[in-house]
Amino acid sequence: MSLLVAPSILAADFSKLQKEVEMLNNSAADYIHVDIMDGVFVPNISFGIPVTEAIQRHAKKPLDVHLMIVNPDHYLEAFRNAGADTISVHYEACTHLHRTIQAIHKLGAHAGVAINPHTPIAMLEDIIVDVDLVCVMSVNPGFGGQKFIENTYSKVTRLKELILKKGSSAKIEVDGGVNLDNAQKLGASGADILVAGSFVFSSPDPSLTIATLKKS
Ligand code: DX5
Ligand code: ZN
């Protein structure tokens, strides 16, 4: 079974963003993963709405926007208007997650929930049927290029069990430190979508790396 791949534009060369997006358009990538960091929820700042809009102007693949921000409700509409097809918010940043998921759906986007490495799968029990995607963080969010946390495999397996038990159609995305050493095992554990940033963009042939990840 072929995995879906969402290269993270965070690892691209921003001085030639259009070229990088075009490379992804011509690759086997299924989505373009867009990491939004606010310097509050995570200890780093990436970019925001105008850059997302610029990506969308050239993108031929759906934008998978990962909001690592506090108060995501305030910005859902702006990111939807900037081209987000999927919007994922962090479980840890949402006091009223169910309301936030409803708001994303109301905007016509797919709704995802992202969970930090310390957040148990059990916390998703009463939201899993409402989401289209669960983004399992396999690093602590905030930076590209970090080391994959091995506990992720068992988390993905337990999430898959929960999805089946509840009859949810949510896809499982794994984000952080993904490469060819862990991709196959993640797929076997139940992952549907792999996010990969530095592994793709620091490879000599990013397009080939994307195709290889998909086949792993
Ligand atoms: C981490 C981000 C990830 C990151 C992945 O906070 O959410 O999407 O860009 O980058 P790599 O693949 O380099 O770990
Ligand atoms: Zn991400």
Is 181 marked active-site? no
Domain ranges of the chain: 4-215
Cβ–Cβ < 8 Å for 112, 86:
yes
Give the span between the Cα atoms of 41 and 58, in whole angstroms. Answer: 29
Vertex 41, ends 38 and 42: CA angle to 5°?
75
Residues of the chain short of pLDDT 70, as ranges, are 1
| CA distances in angstroms from 131 to 97, 101, 201, listed in the order given | 10, 7, 29
Q: Residue 193 carries which side chain, given as an amino acid letter?
A: I
Tell me, what's the pLDDT at 1? 58
Tell me, what's the pLDDT at 2? 86
| Distance of CA 210 from the midpoint of ligand 1 (Å) | 15
| Distance of CA 212 from the midpoint of ligand 2 (Å) | 20
End-to-end CA distance of the chain: 9
| Distance of CA 34 from the midpoint of ligand 1 (Å) | 10
The order of strands in the sheet holding 193-196 is 4-7, 193-196, 171-175, 133-137, 110-115, 84-90, 63-68, 32-37
Provide ipTM, 2 decimals: 0.99
Which residues are part of a known binding site for a divalent metal cation? 33, 35, 66, 175
Active-site residue identified among 30, 35, 64, 132: 35
Which residues are part of a known binding site? 8, 33, 35, 66, 142-145, 175-177, 197-198
Task: Tell me which H or E stretch contains 175.
Answer: strand 171-175
Is 130 marked active-site? no
* Pocket lining: 112 vs ligand 1, CB cutoff 6 Å: no
Q: Among 3.30.565.10, 3.20.20.70, 3.50.30.60, 3.30.230.70, name the CATH number for the domain at 4-215.
A: 3.20.20.70
* Pocket lining: 11 vs ligand 1, CB cutoff 6 Å: yes
